[in-house]
Amino acid sequence: MGTAIFMVLMVSGYWYTSRDLSTRFKIKRSFGWDVYFLVALYGCVFVLQGVIATGLIWLFLLALSAVVNSLHLIPGKYADWQMEFMNWSFLGIQAPVVIMLAFAIFFCLYRSNWAGSARLDGNGRKTLYKSLARSSGIEQLLYQCMEEGELALVTLKSRRIYIGMIHTATLEYEKTANVVLIPMLSGYRDGETMNLCIEHNYSKWYADHDITLDSEPKSAMAFRKVIMLDQIESLSLFDPASASALAMEQHPEKVE
């Protein structure tokens, strides 16, 4: 019986933590034994909910037995249904334990698949990202770009540069964490001076061909770039006016 309870506890905790969006972010920020304790914590919550639900059934049978006995609805028989419920067995295991585990599994499935928190819409995801991004500078900057439409300057380890709008960011799983960027400019860092060299001006192409985020038959989404997070060397906000001013200060015109 103890083994069955432990198995349901751990499996329900793992099922929930691997499917709930907010919990996946917490797992991603946990290391070592913290992961196992977090899984066990959620499993304990579901088992405890099962215990409470089973206790409510016992109280209902106790109250029903008291009402039946007080009104003598069953002549010549004393109703003691709560005790029969406690002594009932199923496949060698006490029925209350089986019912408690069944409730725990049901609560786990409900919270993982059917509850409103498991099916977040766009606004719900933004709210979640905003609350979770406070602990990570990268995620906070990505959220700011998505929320306010700021341009981001992404420098890759290959010295490739992309400047554009952050469309989405998928950060739940470390191996597949990526950023989807709609480019406005692209280029590279000079190997010697590390100056930014622009090669492609996507924004001019968009303007010349009347391409917007929702234009037909082709939109700016057709030019999106999916960048793996582990390939990013640095990430910052990009302001064209400030960048131009800095470039002029670094390379002032000679006055004769």
Do both 97 and 32 map to the same domain? yes
Do both 241 and 130 map to the same domain? yes
Q: Which residues on neighbouring strands pair with residue 151, listed in sequence order?
A: 165, 238
Assigned domain for 179 exists: yes
Do both 101 and 143 map to the same domain? no
Q: Do 220 and 211 contact (CB within 8 A), yes or no?
A: yes
Instruction: Give the whole-angstrom CA distance, residue 132 versus residue 143.
Output: 10
Last residue of a domain, one of 118, 134, 154: 118
Q: Which residues neighbour 238 within 8 Å (Cβ) at sequence distance 6 or greater?
A: 150, 151, 152, 153, 163
Do both 174 and 68 map to the same domain? no
Using one digit for the tens of pLDDT, what is the confidence trace for 42-82?
889 999 999 999 999 989 988 888 888 887 777 767 777 77
Using one digit for the tens of pLDDT, what is the confidence trace for 156-170?
988 899 999 988 887
Please state at what angle helix 95-109 crosses helix 33-71, rounded to 10 degrees: 120
- Choose among 22, 24, 223, 238: nearest CA to 141: 238
Do both 12 and 78 map to the same domain? yes
Please state at what angle helix 137-148 crosses helix 122-132, rounded to 10 degrees: 140
pLDDT, mean of each 10-residue run, the chain (256 residues):
80 83 70 79 90 91 85 73 77 79 89 65 63 69 81 89 87 79 88 78 88 85 90 84 52 42
Do both 129 and 234 map to the same domain? yes
Q: Which two tokens stand for residue 207?
A: 């303007």
Residue with the two structure tokens 């002549």: 75
* The pLDDT of residue 182: 92
Do both 169 and 246 map to the same domain? yes
* The pLDDT of residue 49: 92
Q: What's the number of domains the chain is made of?
A: 2
User: Domain with 192 in it: what CATH number?
Assistant: 2.30.30.100
Do both 153 and 216 map to the same domain? yes
Do both 140 and 227 map to the same domain? yes
Assigned domain for 255 exists: no
Do both 217 and 231 map to the same domain? yes
Instruction: Give the whole-angstrom CA distance, residue 26 versus residue 38.
Output: 9
Q: How far is CA 74 from the centre of its chain?
A: 55
Give the alpha-carbon dihedral of 17, 21, 23, 24, to 10 degrees: 70
Helices marked H in the chain: 2-19, 21-28, 33-71, 81-87, 95-109, 122-132, 137-148, 202-208, 240-250
Do both 46 and 126 map to the same domain? no
**Domain extent for 66:** 2-118
Last residue of a domain, one of 118, 144, 167: 118
Residue with the two structure tokens 């099922």: 15
Instruction: Give the whole-angstrom CA distance, residue 29 versus residue 23.
Output: 10
Instruction: Give the whole-angstrom CA distance, residue 169 versus residue 221.
Output: 15
Start-to-end CA distance of the chain, whole Å, equals 92
Q: Which two tokens stand for residue 86?
A: 């406690």
Do both 170 and 107 map to the same domain? no
Assigned domain for 256 exists: no
From the CB of residue 11, how many other CB atoms can be counted at a distance below 10 Å?
Answer: 16
